[in-house]
Structure 1
Amino acid sequence: MSQNTHLKNMINKIKDFLNSNQAEVDRQENVKKSNKQYTVVMYIFFFMFLCLMGYFLYFQMVAREKYVNSPYNSLQNVMAEHVDKGKILTNDGRVLAETQISNDGTRKRVYPYNNLFAHVVGYDTHGKAGLENKENIKLTTSHDVMFTQLYNEVTQKKNKGDNIITTLDYDIQKVAYEGLGKFDGAVIVIQPSTGKVLSIVSKPDFNPNLIDENWKQLISSTDSVLYNRATQGKYTPGSVFKIFTTLEYYNENKSTYKDFKYRCRGGEAASNGYILHDAGNEKHGLVNLKTAFAESCNSAYAHIAKSLDAKGFTALCDSLLFGKDLPLNLETSKSKFSFNDNDSDFIKMSTGIGQGKTLVSPLHMALVACAIDNNGILMKPYLVDKVQNANGDTISETKPKKYKELLEQNQSGIMQEYMEEVVKEGTATRLKGQSYKCFGKTGTAQIADSDDTTNAWFVGYGKKEGYEDIAVAVVVEKSGYGSKYAIPVAKKIFDKYFNTKN
């Protein structure tokens, strides 16, 4: 009996031991599961921390100026309470904008050249525009001597904001502005090898010194006076668009493009019977691709457009900045292009010669000209050369930087050759025989189906030994042929730059 009892006790102890071991195993498994869950949670929080830090760094290094420079950011008013906004100057030190302080302490932003730099420099009341807007954070930041800043804080005086030395050239700006004369339109001048913007002109214009007095009139104007046509304008390109049509034809016919032949009889018929005419119904006779480009033969390019691959053409234009934000720190617009397989022949023909639904800005066309001249490489355009403190010490300096390879060298080489032919034998012979060498494309863009009103275009570049090349885009609104109205403006700019400037 006692042995049975002892045996039962032994069995129960063994069971208890096994049960306790299983409980310990279960406990350790639960601990492991808990540890895994804690680890997962820890990694999630660590990842969220990294994301937060990444966004913080992105904001500080990339997006800060965009948000701080918003004209609706109240932080700007706080900064303005402690800093007198710095000056904006040309590349040779002429003051374009400065803060004047009257005897009673009243501060006013003044613009010594009135309308001349209106759109590019902008204004500082009723919101902000131009460089006054985009570079506001630099202008309202002070890097003055630390002792001076401390003294001003103690004596409750404002510090002097940093000054901006722009790439803008007074002489080029003046000749471009005067070149447009009584016409509305736009001009932009850029150095292709550096990206420096030398001139931005837009008409109609305004006097930024009189913004307060004329504000209601300006915002109600049907002429969109405050609109910077050079960077924001959306223009029908007319024949300057043949640059893109030529490139697409070349892409699709690299081995045979030189064999292209077409007999121009003054018009090209669509399948529905509509005829797209050459300007003045001119008959160019037998042309190849180069002479068709040089003489701006609408019939030949309408014929070409009917055969182009829609996907390829769209891809080309996408790669050449259509539908893209343009890389200039100023208010800009996106160019538009549409070319589809299901478009009618007439729509395709119209698009191929720069009519149709295509819209471009002068800035966009100037950038394309820059890339052509620079063997396909587009340098990032910029307007701020240096930032200096009130004592003239350089705080920062912009270095030329590659933005993108827009064209392969063989593509840019073709366009260089063709744009040279335009000046030698085509529609821009007024630029032939100068002390400098010019390359370009003219355009005459019909702006309404109801009448023959046209905008005149010139897009091109010039070069001379010992000088940096310059690219120019000119639009003269409601004027006439590009060869008659836009080329004279461009020629005045080339003459001033290459003949009178070092």
Structure 2
Amino acid sequence: MNQQVKTRNLKKKNTKPNDIVDKKKQGLRNRETNVISFIFVALFLMMASYLVYFNVFEASTIVNNPYNKRIDNLENKVVRGNILAADGQILAETDIDEDGNETRVYPFSEVFCHVVGLASAKTGVEGVANYELLSTSGNIINQLSDDLSGEKSVGYDVVTTLVPKLQEAAYKALGSNKGAVVAMEPSTGRVLAMVSKPDYDPNEAPEMYSEWLGYDSSDSVLLNRATQGLYSPGSTFKVLTALEYVREYPDYENYSFDCTGSAYVNGGTTIPCYNGSVHGHQDLKLGFANSCNGVFSTIGFRLNLSKYRQLCEDFYYNKNLDIGIESSVSSFTLDENSGVSEIQETGIGQGKTMVSPMHNLMIISAIANRGVMMQPYFVEKVQTRSGDVVSTTTPKQKSVVCTPSEADTIGEFCRAVVTEGTGYAFTYTSYTVAGKTGTAQFDNSDRVHSWFIGYAPYENPQISFCVILEGGYTGVPGAQQVTKALLDAFFDEY
């Protein structure tokens, strides 16, 4: 009996160390399992997050990439949909002859050529909405039936934001000059018109495209000057120079300068006012209205250059505009290491600063919209051939670039341009305009680019605009007159 008790006690003593070891091993295995589980959960969450990011931010870009061959393959099964103006007029359609041959047709010929683009080159709206134009609403059974019968489905129609009356007015006003006109609704970003010249007839593209590619860059008809052209902004850049001064100097109303027709800064260069104008005593608002180079070529030396550069980059200098269609990046190079002459030239929009008309439009639109820059867009909605809406574009805020108070101040300056400064073309119109004139030197000749940016009505902006006439223009005194033709059409004033 005692021997049995001793044996049982001995067994108990012998099992305790083994139990501890087993529990340690089990705990170790549990930890390893947990670590592996956490790793797989983390990987899953990362992949899920990327898929969400891809679908929200990248999918549309990948889908409409001209190198995406999967989309091109849809052309074997789908007849490309129509592109329509805001009022329903057809801007692009596909004609099918008796033998089934398809031809892309552009009823307005040259008028919408750059903004609508070419289906073959996937430019303009043809590129932006390439996927939608080749998509269909047919169910899988109908698609299989079409595949078996050899018949093609009809792609969605795309309704643009473009207004033919404005487009035609801008096209006519530009005449035979090189340049661009672009207009949009500042509160939404809806692009209302976009014209670029020299132009081309997109109906002739099958025969002429190779020849067009060989044109010199200065005469290129394929270049959309509204979005791809880069120019010295000239005095239109004074919008940002003035804004930075207002931001750094709350007492800006006390600014004073006596203009003698030119300004010299020690170590720099002499900057003349346009046509040698002597403006006399100027405050900041009047200097802006008169586009006094003496004021703005010297203001830069009172600015914090790092903050000045940051302001310009907040307004999307040195950044991709991401507007869907092909565009160039505007450049601002001034920094704390820049020389005296460069600071002078930058303040008046000369030197190394370059901007596209579309970007200049976005800048003035943000002023019109009290500091909020909206994302420009060209497609209002996508619909079936029968008119059923598939999707619509929701206006999207791109960035808040300045405060409402700052925007209002610059808006007052822009209004003064028209009421007491260089914006003389709008003195007797029934609508009120706020804007900024600009002349930009671009070579060693006397030729200059003529700019006008702005918005109307001043009290409640409905349209913002940017016009540039390249140097050597004829038939019009300047960009203001082209703008007036656009606004007359918008407000039906003839």
Once the two structures are superposed, residues 360-402 of structure 1 have per-residue CA deviations (whole angstroms, 9 ceiling, x without a partner) of: 1111111122121122222332111111101111112223333
Deviates more, 1:113-122 or 1:61-70: 61-70
1:398-409 to 2 correspondences below 5 Å: 398-409=393-404
CA drift at 1:150: 6.1
Identity percentage of aligned residues: 35
Number of residue pairs matched? 491
CA drift at 1:147: 7.7
1:333 maps onto 2:328 in alignment: yes
Supply the distance in 2 between the matched residues of 1:54 and 1:342 (Cα, whole angstroms): 42
Could you tell me which runs of 5 or more consecutive residues in structure 2 were left unpaired when the two chains were aligned.
none
Match of 1:238 among 231, 234, 238: 234
Deviates more, 1:172-181 or 1:237-246: 172-181
Supply the distance in 2 between the matched residues of 1:161 and 1:16 (Cα, whole angstroms): 83
Correspondence for 1:129: 123
Are the equivalent residues in 1 in contact too, given 2:255–2:283 (CA < 8 A)?
yes
Match of 1:247 among 240, 243, 246: 243
1:380 maps onto 2:375 in alignment: yes
Correspondence for 1:474: 467
Supply the distance in 2 between the matched residues of 1:314 and 1:78 (Cα, whole angstroms): 46
Correspondence for 2:77: 82
Supply the distance in 2 between the matched residues of 1:424 and 1:367 (Cα, whole angstroms): 23
Mark the CA change 1:485 to 1:422 in structure 2 (over 3 Å): closer, same or farther: same
1:154-233 to 2 correspondences below 5 Å: 154-223=148-217, 224-233=220-229
Structure 1 length-normalised TM: 0.92
CA drift at 1:312: 1.3
CA drift at 1:185: 1.0
Supply the distance in 2 between the matched residues of 1:270 and 1:441 (Cα, whole angstroms): 25
1:262 maps onto 2:247 in alignment: no
1:287 maps onto 2:282 in alignment: yes
Supply the distance in 1 between the matched residues of 2:458 and 2:314 (Cα, whole angstroms): 30
CA drift at 1:110: 1.4
User: What letter corresponds to residue 222 of structure 2 in structure 1?
Assistant: L
Provide the secondary structure at the position in 2 that maps to 1:484: coil
Provide the secondary structure at the position in 2 that maps to 1:229: coil
Are the equivalent residues in 2 in contact too, given 1:268–1:275 (CA < 8 A)?
yes
Are the equivalent residues in 2 in contact too, given 1:479–1:485 (CA < 8 A)?
no
CA RMSD of aligned residues (A): 2.5
Correspondence for 2:449: 455
Mark the CA change 1:178 to 1:419 in structure 2 (over 3 Å): closer, same or farther: same
1:284-433 to 2 correspondences below 5 Å: 284-433=279-428
Once the two structures are superposed, residues 419-447 of structure 1 have per-residue CA deviations (whole angstroms, 9 ceiling, x without a partner) of: 11100111111111201111110000111
Supply the distance in 2 between the matched residues of 1:11 and 1:147 (Cα, whole angstroms): 83
Correspondence for 2:64: 69
Match of 2:478 among 454, 465, 485: 485
CA drift at 1:169: 0.7
Structure 2 length-normalised TM: 0.93
CA drift at 1:297: 0.5
Are the equivalent residues in 2 in contact too, given 1:435–1:499 (CA < 8 A)?
no
Mark the CA change 1:392 to 1:145 in structure 2 (over 3 Å): closer, same or farther: farther
Are the equivalent residues in 2 in contact too, given 1:432–1:438 (CA < 8 A)?
no
1:55 maps onto 2:50 in alignment: yes
1:268-279 to 2 correspondences below 5 Å: 268-272=263-267, 274-279=269-274
Are the equivalent residues in 1 in contact too, given 2:415–2:458 (CA < 8 A)?
no
Once the two structures are superposed, residues 29-78 of structure 1 have per-residue CA deviations (whole angstroms, 9 ceiling, x without a partner) of: 11211111111111111211122222223333432221121111110122
CA drift at 1:333: 2.0
Provide the secondary structure at the position in 1 that maps to 2:492: helix
